[in-house]
Amino acid sequence: MTEAIERPAGDAPPEWEYASAPESTDVMRLDDRYGLFIGGEFVEPKSGRWFPTISPSTEETLAEVADADAADVARAVDAARDAAPAWQGLAPSERAKHIFRIARQVQERARELAVLETMNGGKPIKESRDVDVPLAAAHFFYYAGWADKLEYAFPGRGSPKPVGVAGQIIPWNFPLLMAAWKLAPALATGNTAVLKPAETTPLTALLLAQIMQEAELPPGVVNIVTGAGETGAALVDSPVDKIAFTGSTAVGKAIRRATAGSGTRLTLELGGKAANIVFEDAPLDQAVEGVINGIFFNQGHVCCAGSRLLVQEPVFDVLLGKLKERLQTLRVGDPLDKNTDIGAINSKAQLEKIEELVTSGVDEGAEIYQPECDLPERGFWFRPTLFTGVSQSHRIAREEIFGPVLSILTFRTPDEAIEKANNTPYGLSAGIWTEKGSRILHMAQRLRAGVVWANTFNRFDPASPFGGYKESGFGREGGLHGLEPYLTFERVSS
Ligand code: NAI
Ligand code: MG
């Protein structure tokens, strides 16, 4: 599928191709229709509406999913409210058992979850298998461990209590993992939840609902309502105690307006335009892998993607050469193929957004590079793309593209790199590539980003907090910090 790299004639190695290595979909038994998961059962939507959910790599309909209206959302919130006293009254070690069971069931059904995630979202199977699903299980394991240790987690703050019912709205780029990020800390802290998956990727959350049933989670502790933005807005408007949102900055702002003055707790994890900064003393081959992973992992549908590459001038030519060569080896296509590096773009709408921004890059005068590669006829695809000659005012340097598109800029001094890296409305993540430890510390202190990776990128661990500055949102998920948004502290006088 990908063109072979051109090598000098003479001692040229024989040309060879990967055979296709498709993951079997036999493990998946999809129902024709999925109702809403309310009070521990799958129920028909009161709205009477259903919508198809497709595979973005084939455009085939996988199943129909309920489209929840405000009455359906209200029913889910009521179920969560009704379940709260018993769940909060349970011994913390008993709550932990349920969450550990969920974690083990996610591992047990890992293959099914990975295949379904790839079918519904378009991401390469090697990523859903090796990243999304194991990390989702790890989050449940990690937070299960906290459930009976909350008293010790925040010394001197008083007695931790759950906030109540959490409304959680998640995006389509890491559907199962984002469900785990939201649900695991909420459950560990004794809250009940209503989760709304993204409209293009509802299926793994619904499989997770089945897992919750198997784990004998008490009915109503977790409720899942499917639908689009209107369903999300209905959840925001409903009497929940906390909203946790991951998605676009525009919707994040709307949610902040809607919850202002209501007393509803809020955390927002929004977009990003991260700088990945390569110094002249960096181990360049390692940096190339980090840059490639930073922007092409999950088709670039990553809020913390390293979408702006800042290269120190002396190594610009050599790094660019290595990047172009590496780009030619990326395999774009069937996400169920175990050799695929870049799968399908999640939706037609997202593909159009990427195309529009890439066109703006060309129109504004940046130079585009895309390797030759055949793309499948059906489905939504975009070639891995590099832009050079990018100035800071270009839209492709300022706006989140959320696709496999890297904008490359240069710098001379560390101060210039900091200035350029921070010249963005966002502040979610950053990367530094250098041999010098002191430089890593110097840079990390000055970069306005919630996560700074050094000589690596896109590393995640449930014990490590994640979140942004500025228009990337506020609040932290993961780690000890991730418990706090779900707790209130009662002062006890001694
Ligand atoms: P979106 O923000 O509209 O969708 C995220 C979630 O919010 C979905 O579950 C959606 O149904 C829900 N939603 C939409 N409107 C809502 C509303 N008014 N009230 C409550 N919930 C609502 O993101 P979209 O439109 O899918 O993507 C647009 C852009 O947003 C992307 O191109 C990307 O740049 C950015 N994005 C960032 C993400 C991140 O992880 N930070 C994730 C998804 C998108
Ligand atoms: Mg939207």
Answer whether residue 491 shows pLDDT above 80.
no
Can you give the pLDDT at residue 3? 53
Region 359-366 average pLDDT? 98
- How far apart CA 68 and CA 343 sit, in angstroms, is 30
Domains delineated in the chain: 33-270+473-490 (3.40.605.10), 275-461 (3.40.309.10)
Atom 15, ligand 1: residue with shortest CA distance: 229
- Ligand 1: residue of 248, 346, 350, 424 to mutate (most ligand atoms within 8 A of CB) is 248
Residues lining ligand 1, judged by CB closer than 6 Å?
169-171, 173, 196, 198-199, 228-229, 232-233, 236, 246-248, 251, 254-255, 269-271, 303, 350, 353, 400, 402
| Average pLDDT in the chain | 96
Q: What percentage of residues in the chain have a pLDDT greater than 90?
A: 94
- What is the CB neighbour count within 10 angstroms for residue 31? 11
Mean of pLDDT values over 91-97: 98
If we measure between CA atoms, which residue out of 377, 317, 374, 301 comes closest to residue 127? Answer: 301
Amino acid present at 443? M
pLDDT at 98 over 90: yes
* Nearest listed ligand to the Cα of residue 347: 1
pLDDT at 304: 98
Known catalytic residues are 269, 303
Q: With beta carbons less than 8 A apart as the criterion, state whether 47 and 69 touch.
A: yes
Instruction: List the end-to-end C-alpha distance of the chain, in Å, as a whole number.
Output: 70
Looking at residue 13, its pLDDT comes to 74
pLDDT at 456 over 60: yes
Q: What is the pLDDT of residues 128-146, one digit of tens each?
A: 999 999 999 999 999 999 9
Mean pLDDT for 182-204 is 98
Give the model's pLDDT for residue 490. 83
| pLDDT higher than 60, residue 494 | no
Could you report the per-residue pLDDT of 391-422, keeping only the tens digit for each?
999 999 999 999 999 999 999 999 999 999 99
CA of 258 to the centre of ligand 2 (A): 16
Number of the ligand closest to the Cα of 169 = 1
Q: Identify the bridge partners of residue 38 per DSSP, sorted by sequence position.
A: 41
Mean pLDDT of 379-387: 98
Residue with more model confidence, 493 or 381:
381
DSSP state, 218?
P
What SS3 state is found at 369? strand
- The mean pLDDT of 414-431, rounded to a whole number, is 98
The type of residue at 243 is I
- Flag whether pLDDT at 11 surpasses 80: no
- pLDDT band with cut points at 50, 70 and 90 for residue 10: low
Whether the per-residue pLDDT at 1 is higher than 90: the answer is no
Q: pLDDT tens for residues 18-75?
A: 899 999 999 989 999 999 999 999 999 999 999 999 999 999 999 999 999 999 999 9
